[in-house]
Amino acid sequence: MSNEYMTGGLLRVVEWAKYMTPEELLAITPEFLGKAILHRRERLASEIPEQLDARSDELSEAASMARSAKVKRDDVNKKVASLKKERNDAQAKAKKLFVEANAIREATPKQKGDTEPEPEWAKDRLQQRLDALDLSLQTNWGTHIDERSTLNEMKNLIRKHEEWVDSRKEKFSEINRMKDLQEDAKQFLETADKAHQAMVQLHDENQIFHDTYIENEQKRKRADARTTRLAQALDESQRGIDYWKHCIEIGFHELMADSERVREGGKSSRALARERRQQAVKEGEEE
């Protein structure tokens, strides 16, 4: 009797069992059922490796794609983190400079008109006076003493102008420092804005890589689950093959123990289980 026939016989028994009489069911020998089950296990064991290879290839591909997408996503995240730090640092520096500039503004009296220690109008006024004295030297024929007096007057004009400018420098130096601080703060704000714009541009790119990673990671998990189930099925089938070969070789005495006990007038497995439950309940009540 071929294995194919035995398998077909088992399938027919399963299909027709509800139409069979107890006598017909009991006519099926344990050896027949054991060989049919063994044949089915062997057939499954021969089919699983091909499926397992396909699922393993699918798992490797999905894992590779998920890993690649994750690396790209993480690289973008690092860039975003770096840009965020650059933006925050620049904003913090700008804020500090603005605070310092505002402190100078509040401590310095408000100036009207001039914004430099040596304004243009002062330079022009000095030059006009010097030009007038120089013209006097060129056109008037005075004595040596007159010429010396005119030159001394020119020197005095220059000296007084320089003293006046020097007196204003200290006051205007703080104002100029305030302006420098404000300019530096503006530069930091521009740096922060550029970093922020770069972050916005990377956001869409990061979302694409993240979605790709999630999609392939889900594929990898599904492929891994299928691969694991197939590997378990192959292992179970092989253990089943070994078990049923052993049963066919040495006989079905262990499997038929309950049947033999009932045939000899003993209790069925269900009856024994019921007695054990009743005994457990009784012992619980006594406690």
pLDDT tens for residues 68-84?
888 888 898 899 899 88
Rounded CA gap, 232 and 45, in Å? Answer: 11
- What does the pLDDT read at residue 286? 61
Chain mean pLDDT for the chain: 77
Amino acid 6: pLDDT: 34
What's the pLDDT score for residue 85?
Answer: 92
Q: What is the mean pLDDT of residues 119-136?
A: 82
For the residues 208-234, what does the mean pLDDT come to? 86
DSSP string, the chain: --HHHHHHHHHHHHHHGGGS-HHHHHTS-HHHHHHHHHHHHHHHHHHHHHHHHHHHHHHHHHHHHHHHHHHHHHHHHHHHHHHHHHHHHHHHHHHHHHHHHHHHHHHSPPP-S--SSS-HHHHHHHHHHHHHHHHHHHH----HHHHHHHHHHHHHHHHHHHHHHHHHHHHHHHHHHHHHHHHHHHHHHHHHHHHHHHHHHHHHHHHHHHHHHHHHHHHHHHHHHHHHHHHHHHHHHHHHHHHHHHHHHH-STTTTHHHHHHHTT---HHHHHHHHHHHHHHHHHH-
Q: Which of 186-200, 250-264, 270-284 has the lowest mean pLDDT?
A: 250-264
* 13 vs 260, residue with greater confidence: 260
**Has residue 260 got a pLDDT over 80?**
no
Residue labelled with tokens 């000296």: 159
Phi, psi of 119 (to 5 degrees): -70, 160
pLDDT value at residue 89: 92
From residue 277, alpha-carbon distances to 218, 271, 281, 287 in Å are: 46, 10, 6, 16
Residues 234-249 have pLDDT tens digits of: 888 888 888 888 778 7
Q: Which residue has the higher pLDDT, 256 or 197?
A: 197
Q: How many residues does the chain have?
A: 287
Which pLDDT score, from 0 to 100, does residue 99 have? 87
Task: For residues 155-166, give the mean pLDDT.
Answer: 82
Q: Give the model's pLDDT for residue 4.
A: 36
Max mean pLDDT among 36-40, 189-193, 263-267 falls in: 189-193
The reported pLDDT for the residue numbered 9 is: 37
> What's the whole-model pTM score?
0.46
